[in-house]
Amino acid sequence: MTTPFVLKPGQLTVADCYQFFRQHQTLSLSEDAYPAIDEAQQTVSNVLKQGRTVYGINTGFGLLANTRIAEEELELLQKSIVLSHAAGIGDLMQVSTVRLLMLLKINSLSRGFSGVRREVIDALITLFNHQVWPAIPQKGSVGASGDLAPLAHMSAVLLGEGEVIIDGKRLPASEGLKKANLTPLALAPKEGLALLNGTQASTAFAFEGLFYTENALLCGIAIGGLSVDAAQGSRVPFDDRIHMVRGQQAQRDVASMYRDVLKESEIGKSHEDCAKVQDPYSLRCQPQVMGACLQQIRYAQNTLIAEANGVSDNPLVFAEQQDILSGGNFHAEIIAMTSDMLAIALSEIGSLSERRMALLIDSNLSGLPPFLVENGGVNSGFMIAQVTSAALASENKTYAHPASIDSLPTSANQEDHVSMATFAGRRLKDIFENVAGILAIEWLAAGQGIDFRSPRKTSEPLQQVHSLLRSKVAFYDKDRYFAPDIENAKNLITEHKLADLVKSKIQSPIYA
């Protein structure tokens, strides 16, 4: 049995979130967290005893905030908000998203500013540890007043309502509680609202987008390096002196990564004194473009880990002063903008890859056989594979349109500006799937080019990149059914096989 991950509220790292993204691990909450949780819950009880009127505790919600709720209806109020807000639609979130969402929600509630009982947090941890995943539709949040619908679907399971996913099967929530040895909870004042308010769905999607972008960057550097050798490109553009004088650290780090994967290549040494002065931008400007993408990754990591460790529900309980304050931490504008920048970075990784692949099939630029196949004319080779890349790259231009600049008022204009952060984060997977396809096609093309350069070899790191590809896809000696080759190469990317290999070959860190 593996040792549980001890969650210290407010101290998650990007590395922690990445591990939970990749695989399940059981949780335990640090005992140090419970005093703050208990004190905040006691503050809520004190407010009720004093007869004070406080939003979300003994009032309605949204436009109904001025409606006082009778004491005997407070439990019903919390149950009602969960059930009425579970109004999501569409495909369900994948398990990795739900796992991150629950981790982030547990972390936030455990900070001791939400006013929930420890029993609520413990119940979420128990579901998490038994891998009873709430069935949460992907669509239905505008990323302000919290991710209400997604979090309501999560919370409904605690009440024995809704559905869960267990071992890939969709089952009633009652079956999930049974597996976790739980009984339905009766929510105390403030608890329903605390569970529903927050940016955890938007942030979970954005974290996944961050990790997709990291994957694409690493794969793009390896495959881009392979294309440099396939096209007999120059090493000069990766010289550290060029990047040092510009002063952009991410660009300099990416250039170093390219040097790591390209070092000591027979192909590279064979044309050190060639007459070619400059390569096209898709080869020459890789450090500048990919460095800009790395800069966005680093910005996103700082923003998202701050949000992961923050408290974003409303109202917030400050036990020391016995205050309960209404604000707007649930507004996910910063997550929306961060996701928008990741969307641009991801799309650019794909756009650059498509251009490199187009260069490789052009014999005038690459010096390789037209469309990377012998007996051209009879064989079309990689002609239409490049068309597929172009289609995917073009589609990403629409996907990457900023979501954060849109807003539609909700709740009878009480919530009159929203962030659209949930969609901003969610579409990153769609962009990544396209980019993975583009990179897969370039990988096939670059691998083909390397084979044509035989007996000269590429660098040792890139030989491993080439061998990984050839473990799933054979050399393209004549036209054959192409789609399985693309799918096999793409799977090596989406399953992290290539990215994990590249990580072991580079020295510069991805995260600053």
Q: Which of 34, 55, 258, 281 is flagged as catalytic?
A: 55
Q: Is the peptide bond before 315 cis (omega within 30 degrees of 0)?
A: yes
The answer to whether the Cα torsion of 464, 468, 471, 475 is positive or negative is: negative
Q: Cβ contacts of residue 93 below 8 Å, gap of 6+?
A: 101, 136, 137, 138, 150, 201, 204
* Tokens 């073009």 -> residue: 394
Q: Which secondary structure element, helix H or strand E, spans residue 191, and what is its range?
A: helix 191-196
| Three state DSSP letters for 343-369 | HHHHHHHHHHHHHHHHHHHCHHHHCCC
- The residue type at 341: M
* Active site annotation includes 55: yes
Residue pair 206/430 in contact by the 8 Å Cβ criterion: no
- Give CA separation, 16 vs 12, 21, 24, 218, in Å: 6, 9, 11, 19
> Rounded to whole angstroms, how far apart are CA atoms 213 and 285?
19
CA 466 to chain centre: 27
**Strand 163-166 vs strand 133-134: parallel, antiparallel, or unpaired?**
antiparallel
Among 206, 205, 187, CA closest to 196: 187
CA 157 to chain centre: 25
DSSP string for residues in 197-250: -SSHHHHHHHHHHHHHHHHHHHHHHHHHHHHHHHTT--SGGG-HHHHHHHT-HH
- Give CA separation, 302 vs 131, 215, 253, 429, in Å: 29, 18, 18, 20
Q: Which secondary structure element, helix H or strand E, spans residue 485, and what is its range?
A: helix 483-494
Active site residues: 55
